[in-house]
Structure 1
């Protein structure tokens, strides 16, 4: 087990989360090696009510009855200001999830303590994750997911950068999907000043086996922004906020979540579901490949 001290926060590689995932087949008969849903920011304000999170959990549960879904991920900011009432109400909702839930911290959780976050996060979803630390790795034969909780607010300290570099390096040449709360500043011009500011995050992005960065934080309206794209050799996938939209403005909110399907040939299909609708929104489909020879 690898441990790197980061002030009061210890980031740990959780080797016990390796998965044995049975093969499945999609509608187009391609072999599916991994499928997971991704839930975005909740942190409702001012009232600690989570109606869209609850609806998304119900939708994911129904989806998992129709097709094989391995687990669900969260990109942080579930409990506004990290208050107990927010955590308690969110936990009641997330305990209804019938799949294992793998979250990370966001800046809202850092308004309280890491210990409080872990105490609640380990109660979310089915087959509790039993996380010991806020950052960890899930490995499959085809791809690895690196869950990197921020060290302070939404940013990283040197030790957090070193932890990501070490994990991604150890996983090479296996492709990596990096889950962070916010992408680096400038990645999304809709709010270019918000995100990771640490200069050495550029080293993380440059790792040859990093395929994609999955993030939330910006609360973007999927219909009015460029939410999925390639910058250089890395694909960026935004996970929309469930309870409220901020960008480009707060005039319209459509609660959505995304589903990632990884095929045996290395293709990744990202679908977006609007809460309450059974079929994905074709206009938000995005596909990319994990293969290193496809990078340019």
Structure 2
């Protein structure tokens, strides 16, 4: 992985943690999530004037990606209703690189050297160890953990589909722009049928999240989609999950969530994996 790709993905991780914090901090999670997803669309429409159409071979991947992103967003919403940002986000994001790496090696035949494999295992294992975090009453939040792990399966699935699709498309930005428009239409339909009040609120109280959250999310995943075409999907997915470090800081300092030894351990373990990945070939 080149230095440019490495630091671009780190930047995307910071933006990704920021919009997740916006969703979690919002009083109505549907409003926040809907505002972020719909906030992609104005940017995507403008981008389409400057990029070519994705190649026809990428269209099945585009359709699958739209559905998988929508599924991810629904399960993330459910997860945030049951658990803290500093629990839900790490479990969801930590499981994804492990699944992607396993699929890449076993099914796609991707060859990872020992240091790359070790880095992915340390990053994923360090993050997912936060499943052991307990609630304020001392009990493990098993329901939130299950929902977060399901969210992780969606993350792994759309990462693989988007990476393969962007490579076939010949334009990573064009591929993602069309994907996010389709995703936005699905989210708009979902809110229009089941949460009309939330849809109306986005226009008034949700404007900040629409523009800032939507903009941050679009830029973050545009970078990641481009990175999928420049480096192995498994490595990009693992590096993207350094967002746990930034999510942890946002959760503690801005959302006033509790910091404990397990969260600190997980953060430093993740950083160790990042260092190894940086020096891997």
The question of a shared fold, defined as TM-score above 0.5 by the shorter chain, is answered with: no
TM-score (norm 1): 0.28
Point out which structure has higher relative CO (alpha carbons under 8 A, 6+ apart): 2
Bigger strand share: 1
Tell me which protein shows more helix as a share of its residues. Answer: 2
> Given the two structures, how large is their TM-score scaled by the length of structure 2?
0.29
